[in-house]
A and B are shown apart, each in its own frame.
Chain A
Amino acid sequence: MNRYTFTQAVDADGAVREKIGADVRFIAGGTNLIDLMKYNVERPDRVVDITKLPMRDIAEAPHGGLRLGALVTNAVCAYDTRIAERYPLLREAILSGASPQLRNAATTGGNLLQRTRCYYFYDVDTPCNKRQPGSGCPAIGGLNRIHAILGTSEHCIATNPSDMNVAMAALGATVNVRGTSGERAIPILDFHRLPDDKPEVDTNLRGDELITSVDLPDEAFATHYTYLKLRDRASYAFALVSVAAALRMEGGTIAEARIALGGVAHKPWRRPEVEALLKGAKPGLQTFSKVADALLEGSRPQSQNAYKIQLAHRAIIRALTQAADGTPQSVADKAIL
């Protein structure tokens, strides 16, 4: 960890002003940033504490839905009764992640920006294009069992490790940000990016921008949903593959479908044109299997992660089945049904 100066911002404009110039990082829960600083992956000159900013509320959003302040912790969000009742998909996704201690500290904004878990990225004694552009990507042909199968590039095959992001992508959330040139709203699907030839850039957030809140749309999919997370142990592990599935059912048919995949790409993976295939369809194995094929179209295995294609395929089918049946995956009892 390097030596740095530490300041505390009192309002959003102040925070944004602080961010200009030198190598500055905001710190919220610190659960990712501090680790990265201890590993010398992040070496900021200045750290700006944003935890005193008034961004801790969950409130009704202007156009329906709920607005989550960027500093709402993952625990507060998951256990909020409005979230639990209206957005159980988000709640379940958050609770499937990390540990209670981490969720108590982790914030909505920080979770959106948490960085990949690629082993090489965390080890400064190894090359990594994301950490040190141009140094190479040893994961390609190396240890890539946990890496991406979709949207990879020859420069980086890392995944976005978040569970929360996957649920937000399925729900179609909007990220509200403020920078020196004002405010803007970024649809969640445009927030994270694919690695292409700039793997060092995870998102489309600009250097001076602060995440202020996230809007969850009115349509909440509160009855037919599931968050199915497959991992190497029952808890406290990042997803190998996860599926957020949300259906609006009318009678016995699917009126609308959302499917987002985690653990398979540099961003939560959604294909609205594939989801459209389900519109008006009756739930069924064959239909779900076709959707899974279409969602995974273009997937490319690395040396160690071909299994992810199969696993994702099966997980999509199971998740859609769970959602259609109205039997969401339980995070408390980890058994998958």
Chain B
Amino acid sequence: MTHDSNVPYIGRATSRVDGPLKVTGGAKYAAEYAAPGLLHGYVVSGAIAKGRITSIDVSDAMTVPGVVDVLTHEHRARTAWLSYNYQDMIGPPGKPFRPLYDDKIQYSGQPVALVVAESFEASRAAAALVRVSYKSEEHITDLEAVKGQSYVPPKRRSGIAPPPKPRGDADDAFDAAPVKVKQQYRVPVEHHNPMEPFATTVVREQDGGLTIYDKTQGSQNNQAYICSIFGLSKDKVRVVNAFMGGGFGSGLRPAYQLYLAVLASQTLERSVRVALTRDQMFTFSYRPETIQTVSLGAEPSGKLTAIRHHAVAGTSHFEDHQEVVVNWSGLLYDCKNAKLTYELAKIDTHTPADMRAPGAVLGVFAIESAMDELAYEVGVDPVELRLLNYAEKDENDDKEFTSKALKACFKEGAERFGWSRRSPEPRSMRDGRELIGWGMATGVWEAQLMDTQARVTIHLDGTLEVASATSDIGTGTYTVMAMTGADMFGLPLEKVRVKLGDSSLPTAPVEGGSWAAASTCSAIKLACQALTKDLLEHARALADSPLKRARPEDVVARDGRLFLRDAPGTGVAIQDILRSAKLDELSAKGEAKPDSKVQKTHSSYTHSAIFCEVRVDEQLGVVRVARIVNAVAAGKIINPKTARSQILGGVVMALGSALEEETFSDHALGRFMNHNLAEYHMPVHADIKDIDVIFVDEQDELTNELGVKGLGEIGIVGTGAAIANAVFHATGARIRSLPITVDKLIDSPAFTAEP
């Protein structure tokens, strides 16, 4: 297809520029890099939840041919002593877990040894022969058992807003309210389970430097982590994460195989790869279990008079992991009295981690379920109830919204779904033996911009390179970066090269929080503007330059030329500019930063309205999600194709969370037990029917340079509540503990008895 440089890519459905590499196997992942003499490390995982290692017998393991060494807390190179050195940019307050640090066992599945061998097979065979003895201590992994000892985290986690100050008097207002809903909601532990298991390949370069191919959502975070622990300088450590087979937040913090691979490489002075098994994917990050209580007070009309939302979330004994769980309730609804509280309780597990829309998946499930309960209580349609209590401003922080097209989401979503044909009574719609339920909910997520740098380089051959240390965790960052560069220089996509996923590139934060597209593309735009300006400087220096008197705002770059916006005939070929300046290429940098002036007065969020139809067998309790409409307001949509994919993926993941996903703990053993993909259930193709994604029009001049809000997470938020609400509408059974599985429906008294 020939490219018309007058029609921008931004806003047009564009296939992934890295798609061909991915489907041909050309995209290389962390465990796929080789090096001469590469050694293989296999992790030995601990068996108990708490206690001490009394001995580690490696004698049998060492007899396996090919085994080079077994690293343990008693046998390893010296690394940094202080837990401070193990801190990373994302980690919460506390003392980060230090692998193989001492004899202390802090959670079940903790790495206790690394077998290093000439082949993967030898390392695995030997790992089974490492005999570890323990002295157990009493442990508690059950949140229910410790929720009475919950506490407000004394130190807040950077980047995570604590609950807002209470407004009005929610306790009094609730007591006085003519209509009350007070319920408890539970979301269990879930694991991220990205397709690609965590892996690190450490390659020792000729000059003694380390090139570390790592599965991570942030190369520079992990580079800093390794430098700090091993006392290495940044120019000796390069972390590369060009491709990532999914992260969902599990790769925001350094995973322990990174440390172990570098430790082995430093100890043995060899290149080393450590890849985790699927089981071991259940031995670090996970979404914390939460127990939440929501109390809503309302007028008989449904107008809210009081919102109380209290959450207790599990965390480890060594770190206070925090998320924004309860704030959403005060943000979504106009209500004079609101009291939102968030506490932690310690259990003997690893620290939880951010998992796609951390906090919001939990808190919005609770508030949007409670709002549904209120809708039945007052006999008001769930959409009407939300409109009645619609927040025109951010009452948590007393700020305006940069934009909020949620009403359009309700309207367009309801129309597409056919919501007006809903019969309000539970159990009032059916098809044969199947009860039909229609439910809806609201979704919300932050629209953030993070400090991000980018570099763009125009080459003599007419190609443009755009570069930033950001990551593409499968979301389509390569593509939106290329599209932005292409539009700024009026080039076809084929002439734009993207570099990312490399700690040596211009500074960028971890990819997470749905901020990457807005931040990176804004930085690229600024860099392109700077580059255009530099090109103009050089162009003006040309003899007889037609742009001699042009100012930067007068010119545009397009199709390899720099010319006057108002007189496209007047311009110069970029090649000629470079040639006469005796340059092969010219680079410029850009840096996107949040606008602190706007932030003082405005809040920025994405919103969505989700409508869902479930069908439930009235005797067997089998739930099928027949269709979902998710209408999203997320500012400008850069690439409708990958944007839609993000929402689809979010919806599928929400379906998992609502109906299937739970990591089961045996609390007597203190151990997660369904640690594989046969027994940890996520949706399969047969579970997924119609998913309809709508992007409503939302103009936002304030949120950032491009009016882009980000999309990686909004699709999962609220969707679980919409499904749960639909199950209630179908069956009359309100299951407040996720996932809604057949056993819970069968056991629910409200679910039909046998005929």
Contacts and interface: CB of A to CB of B under 8 A. Distances in A.
Contacts of A1: 121, 124-125, 128
A235 B685 contact: yes
A315 to B, nearest CB: 7
Among B664, B675, B678, B687, max chain A CB count under 10 A is at B678
Contact of A233 (B660, B674, B755): B660
A22 interface: no
A227 to B, nearest CB: 14
B interface, how many residues as a size bin?
Answer: 35 or more
Contact of A289 (B669, B674, B754): B754
A235 B673 contact: no
Interface string A30-42: 0000000011100
Contact of A336 (B125, B128, B620, B660): B620
B747 A119 contact: no
B681 A232 contact: yes
Contacts of B47: 125-126
B125 A119 contact: no
A10 interface: no
A123 interface: yes
Contacts of A204: none
Nearest to A331: B686
B476 interface: no
B751 to A, nearest CB: 10
Among A43, A120, A304, A314, max chain B CB count under 10 A is at A314
A335 B746 contact: no
A138 B128 CA distance: 22
Interface of A: 1-3, 38-40, 43, 117, 119-120, 122-123, 125-126, 138, 141-143, 145, 230, 232-238, 240, 285, 289, 304-308, 310-311, 313-315, 317-318, 334-337
A336 B617 CA distance: 7
Contacts of B676: 122
Interface in B446-488: none
Contacts of B678: 117, 238
B128 A40 contact: yes
A307 B686 contact: no
A126 B666 contact: yes
A324 B283 CA distance: 49
28 contacts: A38-B277, A125-B45, A125-B108, A126-B47, A126-B666, A126-B669, A142-B666, A142-B668, A143-B674, A232-B742, A233-B659, A234-B684, A235-B684, A235-B685, A236-B684, A237-B681, A285-B755, A308-B743, A311-B742, A311-B743, A314-B620, A314-B754, A318-B620, A334-B624, A336-B620, A336-B622, A337-B432, A337-B433
A23 to B, nearest CB: 15
B488 to A, nearest CB: 45
Given A122-B676, A123-B675, A307 B743 contact: yes
A229 to B, nearest CB: 10
A124 B484 CA distance: 52
Given A143-B664, A238-B678, A334-B686, 8 more contacts: A1-B121, A119-B666, A123-B671, A125-B47, A233-B660, A305-B743, A307-B747, A311-B743
B431 to A, nearest CB: 10
B624 A335 contact: yes
Interface string B673-712: 1111011010111110000000000000000000000000
B622 A230 contact: yes
A123 B434 CA distance: 39
A117 B743 CA distance: 18
Nearest to B668: A142
Given A233-B683, A307-B747, A337-B432, A125 B671 contact: yes
Q: Is the interface of B mostly helix, strand, loop or mixed?
A: loop
Contacts of A315: 620
A138 to B, nearest CB: 6
B731 to A, nearest CB: 14
B737 interface: no
A334 B743 CA distance: 19
A17 B173 CA distance: 82
Nearest to A292: B754
Given A234-B624, A336-B620, A145 B743 contact: yes
Q: Can you list the 4 inter-chain pairs with the closest CB atoms, starting with the nearest?
A: A234-B686, A125-B47, A235-B686, A307-B743
B741 interface: yes
B64 interface: yes
B426 to A, nearest CB: 21
A233 B64 contact: no
A64 to B, nearest CB: 36
Interface in B254-298: 277, 279
B619 interface: yes
B128 A117 contact: no
Given A1-B125, A143-B666, A234-B684, A314 B673 contact: no
Nearest to A4: B125
B671 A126 contact: yes
Contact of B668 (A138, A311, A335, A336): A138
Given A122-B676, A145-B743, A311 B620 contact: yes
A310 B746 contact: yes
B621 interface: yes
